[in-house]
Chains A and B, each alone.
Chain A
Amino acid sequence: MSFVEFRFLWFFLIVFGVYWSMRENAARKIWLLFCSYIFYAAWNWKFTFLLLGSTTVDYIVGRMLARHKEHAWRRTWIIVSVCANLGVLGLFKYYNFFVSSASGFLAWLGLPASVSTLNIILPVGISFYTFHSMSYTIDVYRGRQRAISNFADLALFISFFPPLVAGPIVRAITFLPQLVSARKFADVDVRGAVLLFLSGFIKKACIADGVAPIADRYFAHPANFTPRSAWIGVLFYAIQIYCDFSGYTDMAIASARLLGYQLPNNFRFPYFAQNVSDFWRRWHISLSSWLRDYLYIPIGGNRGPRWFVYRNIMITMLLGGLWHGAAWTFVIWGALHGIALLVHREWTRLTDGLEWATRAMRWLAWPITVYAVCVAWIFFRAHDLSRAGTILKQFVLFRGGGSEHLHRWMLFVIVALAFVHWLNSRRWFAEPWRNWPAPVFAAAYGCTAALVLLFVPPSYTPFIYFQF
């Protein structure tokens, strides 16, 4: 069940109606927990047991951490939690990747090994809920979060359906306090939430799914296309992935808000970033801040000699890339972003106080950043390294490729969408709605929703981040 399907609308209406008709907070939470498991079971009910198992382990670890004050015991229990969570993630997501990579490496060394990969189905959203879950035990271990005694509360935090399958990654310290008291409907910004949902829906169903066939066509056979088409294909993919992922996030945040819960913001117009470091403060914020707080800082962060810091950045970005998917293309994507971050740091250090550099960067920073991000997207989207190489040659060197071309008018689509995006960043679309009387707003919203549906493709394309 996806946010852009009609059945989600029916599901949510039932959840919403029953939820607000209940007066007891405990009953509401149990209802949300039940619905969240139903939501997850719509993909594959068998994996609800995995979700439940992960919750149980972290609940027990949380209780044990609360009980034991000795450092050695606490350390043991946190290792149990991290190993259990990463073990599940490793088995379902990375087992085949590591086995086939090791086999390939041994073959390259002249030691062919016969290994067998497993026929494993990747549970949807496993990377997200594992991170939700780990944030709880790590924060309890660090003493930032009290271990909770109510199992249902922890289960609801981990399985809460809006961010369950594609984020944003929610931390225990931001979500669990919201479960303490009953949410009040009067405090819900319904207008803001439904507008955010519609905005997310337009991004996903109209824009991302609209440009997807063109990007797919190019990335399927890049060698057949001209370098100009490579630019169109890559830029269309940059639009697709942003609209797809931020569209999902908007709908998730809006759904949670309608139920009275606040989720962290995940995007702040990332393509307006002035450098790669800025990009990561705007793109998938919940992941980048999670990696910063639970990986980068624990391994040293900005402390120590410069090369030590650079090593930490590279480790974080490589693992961030691997988090997205079990393939070398994702690892390279992470590495490219790591390198870009290092280059930016070095550039900032070397040109610190130089007037000409500041002036030049005022004009060049944005195009360079977008270009670097797009180059990295090539590896993120390419089916394999060989095709990524072909695309890179076309996109960077304007060489290679065939005679097939994507139509020139698509460049105007890119410009038009960029302009709309800029207007949106100025709140040009959302602001006027705020001032209308509620009945006028409701009628206009209904009409707009009906008009938006005209431009939705007939078939539904799964969210890109579902595969992670």
Chain B
Amino acid sequence: MPIRHLALNVEPLRPATSTERQTLFRALINSAIGVGAFLLTCIGLHAVLPFPQIDGVSQKLRFFAAHKDEFDTLFIGSSRIYFQISPAIFDGVIRESGSPMRSFNFGIGGMHFPESAYVLEQVLNTKPRNLRWVFIELGELQTKWPHEAAGSRRALYWHDWRRTSLILRKVLGSGTHMVWLPNLKKVRDIILPRKSGLETRDLFIFHMAELEKNFANVATGSDILDYFSRRDINKDSAKYLGAAGDGYVPMTNKGMSASQAAAYEHALALVMAQNGWRSISPYTMEACRQCAQKIRGIGAVPIFLITPSTTRFNVTHLDNARPPGVVMAFNDPRVYPNLYRSSVRLDEDHLTKEGAEEFTRIMAANFMHLVQAGEIK
């Protein structure tokens, strides 16, 4: 076929008139003004608006801010901190050794890295003058959220760039170096997801959306309404601060049923039979490094705490870099058999009230030992 028959039938290019160019130029300028006004308003509102009303977190943060100079020790983490470390017992053990101490439990159910790192930053922003030791629960950086909580304010408020970028790096498998080099397989999973790659895509979209919503102060209007309607935002404080007002709320003493105990013993035996330990990802290490830097910035000492759990990793077996601070690990059933008796456990991750008190005593004694040995200054 002659080549000229293959020529495409295209319209001749219509030259843009000067009026059109002017209209487009004006539209661009006005769009820039609109976008600028939007961004500035978002930033301004973010600076002016109070910390969002998040159940548990807000009450504890407000209480801590009001009493910030009274505490020298802080525990921060998930329910494994919240329900398992009694500041009263901890302070008592330390006092017996002659050192006065007052600690506060800032544990919140389901608060893992990077949310805990964000909350820690807010706590440190209150500039507590006497804070000397900060215990942070060490656990893997979480990228997934329970489905029912995914659309909540709890999932939203901590999505600043520092936290979200770390999560996105983990989702994209791009490492923690300055330059982002995403794993190409992960990028493909986002653009053209297959069944196995749907999670990567969903997580990427979810965290990006949360970052944008947080930047744009989405859903913070209810806080403004609360302020003007003078709603008592502290009415639930006692629920989260506990009877002693130190942030600790004990679990029940009613342990597992016989069948649950048998299942637990079986799972524990399996864990003890395994020699391999889960390693910490470089993203978690980066989160730890950021936390440690902030803590040291106010003159306190970071201590990473691994609570008695059968599903956690053990840093003593790590071949990659260690967290930037002292690590106190209680997740080896061979070393702490008393904390793994089924009679003191609610499940594989949590202790009963009796178990929590025993754990606090052991932890306080270990801590004193480390202080006296000069490992913690």
Contact = CB atoms under 8 A, between A and B. Distances in A.
B47 to A, nearest CB: 13
Interface in A415-468: 438-439, 441-447, 449-451, 453-460
Contact of B35 (A185, A446, A454, A458): A446
Given A5-B209, A454-B220, A458-B155, A23 B14 contact: yes
B364 to A, nearest CB: 39
A15 to B, nearest CB: 15
Contacts of A455: 219, 221
Q: Which of B29, B150, B208, B221 has the most CB of A within 10 A?
A: B221
B213 A458 contact: yes
Query: DSSP majority for the A interface?
Result: helix
A80 interface: no
Nearest to A187: B23
Contacts of A182: 14
A439 B219 contact: no
19 contacts: A7-B205, A20-B24, A26-B11, A185-B20, A185-B24, A186-B19, A439-B30, A439-B33, A443-B37, A445-B34, A446-B38, A451-B45, A453-B42, A453-B213, A453-B216, A454-B221, A458-B218, A458-B219, A459-B151
Given A450-B217, A453-B217, A454-B221, A23 B30 contact: no
Contacts of A26: 10-11
Q: How large is the interface on B (under 10, 10 to 19, 20 to 34, 35 or more residues)?
A: 35 or more
B197 to A, nearest CB: 13
Given A185-B20, A451-B45, A453-B42, 13 more contacts: A24-B13, A26-B10, A442-B33, A442-B34, A445-B34, A446-B38, A446-B40, A447-B38, A450-B45, A453-B218, A454-B221, A458-B155, A458-B156
Closest 10 CB pairs of A and B: A459-B151, A446-B37, A450-B41, A446-B38, A454-B221, A455-B221, A442-B34, A442-B33, A458-B219, A442-B30
A356 interface: no
B209 A6 contact: yes
A84 interface: no
Contacts of A451: 41, 45
A284 B209 CA distance: 31
B150 A438 contact: no
Given A7-B209, A438-B26, A450-B41, A23 B16 contact: yes
A454 B219 CA distance: 5
Contacts of B29: 439
A184 interface: yes
B212 A6 contact: yes
A317 B185 CA distance: 51
B27 interface: yes
Contacts of B38: 446-447, 449-450
A25 B11 contact: yes
Contact of B30 (A6, A20, A438, A457): A438
A450 B42 contact: yes
Contact of B11 (A24, A186, A453, A458): A24
